[in-house]
């Protein structure tokens, strides 16, 4: 029976190093929140009547959010470090002891 492991040396994390799915998710969430707020602000402050069709544009960020979630299923996390040195451990025999009796070798 063998066991192998590597040493991981983390590097300093880079700020705003987002993956593609995270970019899609944050963009869509911010758009879903800010776009209606901007339309409401324009209606209230300028007295303009914005058509309800303008809110249908929110379908695009919602679709982008779903695509980001689908991409997330196939992505791996950024390692932000390096793997060095490989350790191998060979186990020649194992003893299973139960109630001071050797069960298997």
Query: What pLDDT was estimated at residue 102?
Result: 59
Q: Which range marks the domain in which residue 88 is found?
A: 2-10+17-104
The confidence band for 65, taking pLDDT boundaries of 50, 70 and 90, is: very high
DSSP conformation class of 57: G
Cα–Cα separations (whole angstroms), residue 96 to 2, 3, 18, 91? 17, 19, 48, 14
What is the distance between the alpha carbons of residues 73 and 86, in angstroms, rounded to a whole number?
A: 29
What is the distance between the alpha carbons of residues 90 and 47, in angstroms, rounded to a whole number?
A: 77
Q: Write the pLDDT tens digit of every residue in 81-93.
A: 787 777 777 766 6
Token digits of residue 104? 């298997």
- The structural domain count of the chain equals 1
- Does this model's pTM top 0.75? no
CA dihedral 47, 53, 58, 60 (to 10 degrees): -140
């Amino acid at each position: 029976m063998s066991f192998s492991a590597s040493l991981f040396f983390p590097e300093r994390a880079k700020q705003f190093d987002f993956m593609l799915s995270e970019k899609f998710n944050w963009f869509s969430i911010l758009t879903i929140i800010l776009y209606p707020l901007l339309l409401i602000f324009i209606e209230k402050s300028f007295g303009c009547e914005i058509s309800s069709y303008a809110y249908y544009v929110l379908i695009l960020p919602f679709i982008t959010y779903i695509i980001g979630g689908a991409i997330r299923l196939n992505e791996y996390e950024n390692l932000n470090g390096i793997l060095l040195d490989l350790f191998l451990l060979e186990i020649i025999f194992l003893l299973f002891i139960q109630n001071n009796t050797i069960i298997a070798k």
